[in-house]
Amino acid sequence: MGKPTGFMEYSRKVIADIPPLERLRHFNEFHIELEEPERIRQGARCMDCGVPFCQSSFGCPIMNLIPEWNDFIYQGRFEEAFWRLRATNNFPEFTGRVCPAPCETACVLGINEPPVTIKNNECFIIDRAYESGWMVPRIPPIRTGKRIAIVGSGPAGLAAADQLNQAGHGVTVFERSDRIGGLLMYGIPNMKLDKGLVQKRIRLMESEGIEFRTDSWVGKNVDPEKLLAEYDAVILAVGSTVPRDMQVPGRNLKGIHFAMEYLTSSTKHLLDGKKLNGSGLSANGKHVIVIGGGDTGNDCLGTALRQGCKGLKNFELLPKPPATRTEEFPWPLYPRVLKVDYGHEEAIAKFGEDPREWGILTKEFLDDGKGNVKGIRTVRVEWTKDPNGKPVMKEVPNTEEFWKAELVLLALGFLGPEGETLDAFKVEKDPRSTIKAEYGSFSTSNPKVFAAGDARRGQSLVVWAIHEGRKVARAVDLFLMGETYLT
């Protein structure tokens, strides 16, 4: 806890942002940290709630010791806050920036007051650790001689690598892309997660003894049989990367792309030093429509705006959510409420209105006569519930509309992991097309192969991927050594 009466004395104050139109000039992070005295006050707001739901299954999946490091912030003992945070979270520099903070919606103070700024507090702690030189390599004093291959360098693979390396095992991470980081590198734009920070963390892990191999696609240019022969265990952390498509007339027109293809191309061009508004898959000078909401859709909005799009709309099939909790999402459940994220805020500042259109169904992509998309034909829908409470969608008559679009981005979620690597190891899939591996053991149908992250549990949050990476590391350590001290 923080100050016993802090939650009554201090109001919630979050980090400030550079004004929307100003930050659209660049792809840099745009948050401005609070002054230290104010951050201490925010730590003081953590109340003596008795049962900290923030670190329960309703809140933080990795069970961060949130009240403890909030208390250290309140006392100004920032290095101790850092060590308490790092005890449960391998990558607070990532979660402190991109996590939607279910810990805050489960905060007890949030029942009748604005919750504690847990996410901002976490980011402050890890940023202070880097600035103060506390983030230094931790070289394992003893090596076990065991070797583990990890396929995939997203948050699950990196968390497993970090844990297993600290246990003294030799760890090699195989990444099919040209840079390490998976979703962290190419799936999240730079203004939301600085790629220099990702690379700094990777370099630190390399100095601790982890080997990273890029351009290594297991099942294509890396032989899985060789991995099974040379390593004592293999972990598949390949993510959930098969995008959900939509089959409507005109889907094959040029100018229609999956959101992750667009975000990856944009970040790669940025890191390669190329101009994002003039080359590659760019929104520059185009009317852009993003189909699908969520974080990925919002990231597409922010990227398109920075590339200089001429117009911007965001289609969402579901109805507009309520502004506050409803009986359907009581505390401490994570609620589905209306959120104005950075991309929405920037679009409003640029074009004068919220880009989102709710309850809208795409019926057809229209051809400009040269094989390019020129627009979308839509119809409005309304939602009701059948006698069993199941949602039912119905088209509203006479609501057809035409929307101009030269670039369409599909942000409809993901169906599961791609098949090449899974087939190469001959592991079984479950009915959802994810890898069949029971939580706890994380073992697949191949006794030397384990699975974790989105590839096992389906599309989820970065913090859940870290949780799975930690738990599969524990399972592998137990498999190899017969005992484990990993958590």
Phi, psi of 248 (to 5 degrees): -130, 160
Q: Find, among 439, 428, 434, the residue nearest to 472 by Cα.
A: 439
Residues 305 and 268 in one domain: yes
In a domain, residue 393? The reply is yes
Residues 318 and 366 in one domain: yes
Residues 25 and 101 in one domain: yes
- Reported as a single tens digit per residue, the pLDDT across 319-363 is 999 999 999 899 999 999 999 999 999 999 999 999 999 999 999
Is the pLDDT assigned to residue 278 strictly greater than 60? no
Q: What is the mean pLDDT of residues 244-268?
A: 97
Distance separating alpha carbons of residues 124 and 114, to the nearest angstrom: 19
Show the CA angle centred on residue 162, arms to residues 161 and 163, nearest 5°.
95
Q: Tell which of 376, 391, 412 closes a domain.
A: 412
In a domain, residue 138? The reply is no
* DSSP string computed for 251-315: TTSBTEEEHHHHHHHHHHHHHTT--TTTSSS--TTSEEEEE--HHHHHHHHHHHHHTT-SEEEEE
Is the pLDDT assigned to residue 275 strictly greater than 80? no
Q: How confident is the model at residue 421 (pLDDT cuts 50, 70, 90)?
A: confident
Residues 32 and 54 in one domain: yes
Give the domain CATH number at 36. 1.10.1060.10
Residues 109 and 212 in one domain: no
Please give the pLDDT value at position 420. 84
Please give the pLDDT value at position 416. 93
Please give the pLDDT value at position 48. 86
Please give the pLDDT value at position 3. 86
pTM (2 d.p.): 0.96
Please give the pLDDT value at position 367. 97
Question: Could you list the residue range(s) of the whole structural domain that residue 265 is in?
Answer: 245-412
- Reported as a single tens digit per residue, the pLDDT across 90-146 is 999 999 999 999 999 999 999 999 999 999 999 999 999 999 999 999 999 999 999
Q: What is the mean pLDDT of residues 416-434?
A: 91
In a domain, residue 486? The reply is no
Residues 107 and 228 in one domain: no
Q: How many other CB atoms are found less than 10 A from the CB of residue 240?
A: 25
Is the pLDDT assigned to residue 403 strictly greater than 60? yes
Q: How confident is the model at residue 389 (pLDDT cuts 50, 70, 90)?
A: confident
Q: Is 123 exposed, middle or buried (0-12, 13-18, 19+ CB in 10 A)?
A: buried
Please give the pLDDT value at position 439. 96
In a domain, residue 48? The reply is yes
Please give the pLDDT value at position 279. 58
In a domain, residue 451? The reply is yes
Residues 184 and 221 in one domain: yes
Instruction: Provide, rounded to the nearest whole percent, the portion of the chain with pLDDT above 90.
Output: 93
Residues 249 and 290 in one domain: yes
Q: Find, among 179, 210, 161, the residue nearest to 472 by Cα.
A: 161
In a domain, residue 142? The reply is no
Please give the pLDDT value at position 299. 98
Is the pLDDT assigned to residue 85 strictly greater than 70? yes
Residues 230 and 162 in one domain: yes
Is the pLDDT assigned to residue 277 strictly greater than 90? no
- Reported as a single tens digit per residue, the pLDDT across 441-455 is 999 999 999 999 999
Is the pLDDT assigned to residue 57 strictly greater than 90? no
Phi, psi of 72 (to 5 degrees): -65, -35
In a domain, residue 140? The reply is no
Q: Tell which of 390, 412, 434 closes a domain.
A: 412
- Reported as a single tens digit per residue, the pLDDT across 179-214 is 999 999 999 999 999 999 999 999 999 999 999 999
Instruction: Provide, rounded to the nearest whole percent, the portion of the chain with pLDDT above 70.
Output: 99
In a domain, residue 137? The reply is no
Give the domain CATH number at 374. 3.50.50.60
Q: Read off the DSSP letter of residue 448.
A: T
- In one-letter notation, the amino acid at residue 405 is A
Residues 261 and 375 in one domain: yes
Q: Tell which of 391, 412, 433 closes a domain.
A: 412
Residues 183 and 256 in one domain: no
Q: Provide the number of structural domains found in the chain.
A: 3
Residues 420 and 402 in one domain: no
- Reported as a single tens digit per residue, the pLDDT across 147-178 is 999 999 999 999 999 999 999 999 999 999 99
Q: Read off the DSSP letter of residue 407.
A: E
